[in-house]
Amino acid sequence: MILAKNELRNLSINKVISAAFENHPYSNQKEHYIVSQLRDDSALDVSLVAIYQGEVIGHIAFSTVKINGNEYSWYGLAPVAVSPLYQKSGVGSKLIKKGTDVIKQKGAEGCFLLGEPNYYERFGFKAMSALVLEGVPPEYFLALSFEGLMRPRNSGHQIK
């Protein structure tokens, strides 16, 4: 099979994402499909890879999100994935730091994600009572505001 460079890179990214979430207790093993769909829909605003010895070993994706049906300069981080052989070696942290720097440079006001609070809080992500993602326990829906916006309020914000 002959593939263009970008197609080969996309296959490598999908393999890393699949492997990273294969045994994850909260995964439905569809994360690589989500990234592929975002890519196909031209909705993947930032896509970064970590490469070691010429191989893709990590990936992070960011796409813009709507708040109460309106477009703002907020991004969703989903997913960050690291090949199992390289997990717990700092690759994920480097991807998150670089990715959030990139979206800040693009003018982002902040970033949302669905994830493990104990991991993401080290990067400044926090649960905010004013933010709601239907069907998701609030402690796992986290946000990082770059502009000090989205302070908790009495009325909730529906994220889509």
Domain limits at 9?
5-158
What is the pLDDT at residue 153? Answer: 39
The three-state (H, E, C) secondary structure of the chain, written as one string: CCCCHHHHHHHHHHHHHHHHHCCCCCCCCCHHHHHHHHHHCCCCCEEEEEEECCEEEEEEEEEEEEECCEEEEEEEEEEEEECHHHCCCCHHHHHHHHHHHHHHHCCCCEEEEECCHHHHHHHCCEECCCEECCCCCHHHEEEEECCCCCCCCCCCEEEC
Question: Phi/psi zone of residue 15: left (φ > 0), alpha (ψ -120 to 50 degrees), beta?
Answer: alpha
103, 123 Cβ separation under 8 angstroms: no
Residue 72 has pLDDT above 70, yes or no: yes
- How far, in Å, CA of 3 to CA of 9, rounded? 9
Question: Does residue 79 register a pLDDT over 90?
Answer: yes
Model-level pTM? Answer: 0.87
- CB–CB of 50/40 below 8 Å? no
In the chain, the number of structural domains is 1
pLDDT at 91: 97
pLDDT at residue 150 in the model: 53
Phi, psi dihedral angles at 62 (to 5 degrees): -135, 140
pLDDT at 130: 80
User: Quick check: 66 pLDDT over 70?
Assistant: yes
Q: Which residue reads 């946000």 in tokens?
A: 143
The CATH number of the domain holding residue 23 is 3.40.630.30
- pLDDT band for position 157 (50/70/90)? low
Say if CB 95 and CB 53 are below 8 A apart.
Answer: no
